[in-house]
């Protein structure tokens, strides 16, 4: 999912969209892992409405409903001077009837805490050189709270850390946003099924890509694609993708919705469904 602005004339029109210094929607939304980005992908943008002159932040809630699972994510992020971001998210994967079939009990929830930090190291997503993206490096430490489940599926660890490099650029004259992220990880289903496994216990580089197009000042559509490792023999893991729309309700609230395909999760194939996310920023 994406958030961007269309090409607008400077002065009055630009000032109308400002709040805390940033133009409307140029602070992205919350990814399912809590950092600023799209729904599935991390971006180099920093949370909050403030620029280099202040401290901003955001809180979010996301619900994704699939055939056999439901994912709930809540979290917050703080941006310092448009340079550093600190984030936290709690994920809960409701296994519904699949939990009973797996011997966990109906509606058993897999829980995970994600602590993130991001540093913008070069460029600007909106201003400056039109061909130079904003580049950031980030880290996410993930603590799975259901080690008995991760052990049962063959994961090597219940805690792990992802490292990533992200580049994001908004091409104002074309109303297009492009993002690309390289993630160094061995997380199974983002960490909800632990880290590493019997097939592979090594870190590898995975790709996250985003493309968005501005239909109006407040409405963006687009898509994302995210490759995944495949470490567990008993639980094949597929790549993720989505098609999204994001709407700025006002200068503080953004609502996003998406059709999401996560492929196979814990032996259950064709996990497709809808996602809705609300983010409040200041």
pLDDT above 50: residue 156: yes
3 is a domain residue = no
155 is a domain residue = yes
The overall average pLDDT reported for the chain is: 88
CA nearest neighbour of 24 among 181, 245, 253, 271: 253
- Express each pLDDT in 56-92 by its tens digit: 999 999 999 998 899 999 999 999 999 999 999 999 9
- Express each pLDDT in 161-202 by its tens digit: 999 999 999 998 899 999 999 999 999 999 999 999 999 999
1 is a domain residue = no
| pTM listed for this prediction | 0.87
136 is a domain residue = yes
Query: At 17, which helix (H) or strand (E)?
Result: helix 12-17
172 is a domain residue = yes
Domain that holds residue 228: 12-281
Query: At 118, which helix (H) or strand (E)?
Result: strand 109-122
- Beta strands 70-80; 84-94: pairing state: antiparallel
7 is a domain residue = no
4 is a domain residue = no
CA nearest neighbour of 247 among 273, 275, 221: 221
Asked if 190 and 152 count as a contact pair (C-beta separation under 8 A), the reply is no
How many distinct structural domains can be found in the chain?
1
Q: What is the pLDDT of residue 6?
A: 37
Q: What is the pLDDT of residue 118?
A: 98
Q: What is the pLDDT of residue 217?
A: 83
131 is a domain residue = yes
CATH of the domain at 219: 2.40.160.40
CA–CA distance, 78 with 172 (Å, rounded to integer): 26
């Amino acid at each position: 999912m994406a958030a961007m602005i269309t090409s607008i004339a400077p002065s009055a029109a630009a000032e109308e969209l400002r709040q805390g210094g940033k133009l409307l929607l140029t602070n992205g939304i919350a990814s399912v892992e809590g950092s600023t980005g799209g729904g599935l992908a991390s971006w180099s943008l920093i949370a909050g409405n403030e620029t280099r002159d202040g401290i901003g932040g955001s809180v979010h809630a996301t619900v994704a409903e699939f055939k056999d699972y439901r994912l709930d994510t809540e979290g917050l992020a703080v941006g310092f001077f448009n340079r550093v971001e600190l984030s936290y998210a709690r994920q809960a994967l409701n296994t519904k009837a699949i939990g009973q079939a797996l011997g966990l009990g109906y509606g058993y929830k897999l829980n995970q805490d994600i602590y993130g930090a991001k540093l913008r190291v070069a460029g600007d997503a909106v201003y400056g050189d039109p061909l130079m993206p904003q580049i950031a490096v980030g880290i996410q430490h993930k603590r799975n709270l259901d080690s008995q489940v991760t052990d049962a599926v063959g994961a090597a660890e219940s805690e792990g850390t992802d490292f990533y490099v992200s580049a994001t650029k908004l091409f104002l004259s074309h109303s297009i946003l492009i993002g690309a992220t390289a993630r160094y990880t061995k997380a199974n289903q983002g960490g909800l099924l632990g880290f590493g496994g019997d097939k592979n216990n090594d870190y590898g580089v995975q790709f996250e890509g985003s493309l968005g197009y501005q239909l109006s000042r407040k409405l963006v559509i687009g898509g994302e694609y995210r490759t995944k490792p495949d470490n567990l023999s008993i639980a094949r893991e597929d790549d993720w993708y989505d098609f999204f729309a994001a709407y700025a309700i006002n200068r503080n609230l953004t609502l996003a919705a998406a059709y999401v395909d996560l492929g196979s999760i814990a032996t259950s194939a064709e996990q497709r469904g809808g996602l809705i996310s609300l983010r409040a920023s200041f």
